[in-house]
Amino acid sequence: MNTSFPAIALGTWSWGSGAVGGDRVFGNHLTEDDLKPVVERAMDKGLNLWDTAPVYGQGTSETILGNLLAPYDRQSYFLSTKFTPGLAGSEDNAMELMLDASLKRLHADYVDVYWIHNPQDVEKWTPQLIGLVKSGKVRSVGVSNHNLAQIKRATEILAAGGVELSAIQNHFSLLYRSSEDAGIVNYCTRNGLDFYAYMVLEQGALTGKYGPDNPLPAGSDRAATYNKSLPKLAKLNAGLTKIGEAHGGASIAEVATAWALAKQTKPLIGVTKPAHVDSQARVAALQLSGEEVAQMEQLAAETGVDTKGGWERPMV
């Protein structure tokens, strides 16, 4: 487990535009000028682990992040980006070519964590991480959206080349605990792997900002996914509000993030406003009791809402 990283990672999926970008998925239309105060606030607060991917807006997320971090010393922040097999060409060094393009957009000569974004072909792609680590372009490696058997196989392949698997990144929230049910979270805890929990706030559905009278942005992918379920989340969000009130008025988003921390994971939270950064900076002080965690999970189960993404394969 990397103890030098902050407890919470910041995500940039909603930055940029284009295919799988912030405009289409989230209904956002954010510019570098809009996001500059977000980066400034995060760096000031010590939340300096940034997660992105070339598939987010077809490189526009990486470009914005790279431009906004360019004024800072490279040693003052951590970069996490990904290799997406579905975007790879047929070249023998397709992974390195994708990484080099990411590094150019990020204005960097190395990344701190490099992920295989999905398990399209574990046997083919995992070995290519080894050379990238040994080249110095990659400091540590992880796999995303992999099940436990695939994680164990990736570990074996990497170990044969003298490289350790450092981290797992899967969808994990109060509404989607498949990685816990499959034993992946426990496996990471026992083996010293960082488990990055993405979509902890379910693209805003678990923040209290949205409801039947204030739905997610029309025309966005997240609206199509979550708006129909917002009435079913009212009782859960009310319960999270009550727990937050018992912790000095913590917000629903802060309580949901604190739950992910209580599960011994590293929440990966998308941020688009300085206030989002301020909110996440407060989470470290929010210590939930075992009773509160159990209550939250019961309320979540009662919703009957399944938020498995269309790109995800069942973990169990």
pLDDT in tens, 181-236: 999 999 999 999 999 999 999 999 999 999 999 999 999 999 999 999 999 999 99
- Are 143 and 154 in contact by the 8 Å Cβ rule? The answer is yes
So what's the pLDDT on residue 158?
Answer: 98
- Write the pLDDT tens digit of every residue in 52-95: 999 999 999 999 999 999 999 999 999 999 999 999 999 999 99
So what's the pLDDT on residue 23?
Answer: 92
Q: What's the chain's average pLDDT?
A: 96
Query: Judging by beta carbons within 10 Å of its beta carbon (0-12, 13-18, 19+), is residue 245 exposed, middle or buried?
Result: exposed
Angle at 194 between CA 286 and CA 83, to 5 degrees: 125
Cα gap 161→177, rounded to integer Å = 32
Mean pLDDT of 234-260: 98
Task: Please check the confidence at residue 1 and state whether its pLDDT lies above 90.
Answer: no
So what's the pLDDT on residue 241?
Answer: 98
Task: Please check the confidence at residue 140 and state whether its pLDDT lies above 90.
Answer: yes
Mean pLDDT of 262-278: 98
% residues pLDDT > 90 (the chain) = 94
Cβ neighbours of 232 (radius 10 Å):
14
So what's the pLDDT on residue 2?
Answer: 87
Task: Please check the confidence at residue 175 and state whether its pLDDT lies above 90.
Answer: yes
So what's the pLDDT on residue 123?
Answer: 97
Residue 3 pLDDT class (50, 70, 90 cuts): confident
Token pair of 72, please? Answer: 């800072």
Task: Please check the confidence at residue 116 and state whether its pLDDT lies above 90.
Answer: yes
pTM over 0.95: yes
Token pair of 88, please? Answer: 């790879």
Single-letter amino acid, residue 28: N
SS (H, E, C) the chain: CCCCCCCCEEECCCCCCCCCCHHHHHCCCCCHHHHHHHHHHHHHHCCCEEECCCCCCCCHHHHHHHHHHCCCCHHHCEEEEEECHHHCCCCCCHHHHHHHHHHHHHCCCCECEEEECCCCCHHHHHHHHHHHHHHCCECCEEEECCCHHHHHHHHHHHHHCCCCEEEEEEECECCECHHHHCCHHHHHHHHCCEEEEECCCHHHCCCCCCECCECCCCCCHHHHHHHHHHHHHHHHHHHHHHHHHCCCCCCHHHHHHHHHHHCCCEEEEECCCHHHHHHHHHHCCCCCCHHHHHHHHHHHHHHCCCCCCCCCCCCC
- Are 202 and 210 in contact by the 8 Å Cβ rule? The answer is no
So what's the pLDDT on residue 18?
Answer: 87
Cβ neighbours of 58 (radius 10 Å):
16
- Are 18 and 58 in contact by the 8 Å Cβ rule? The answer is yes
Number of Cα atoms under 13 Å in the Cβ half of residue 201 = 24
Mean pLDDT of 113-136: 97
So what's the pLDDT on residue 313?
Answer: 87
% residues pLDDT > 70 (the chain) = 100
So what's the pLDDT on residue 143?
Answer: 98
Number of Cα atoms under 13 Å in the Cβ half of residue 316 = 10
Task: Please check the confidence at residue 19 and state whether its pLDDT lies above 90.
Answer: no
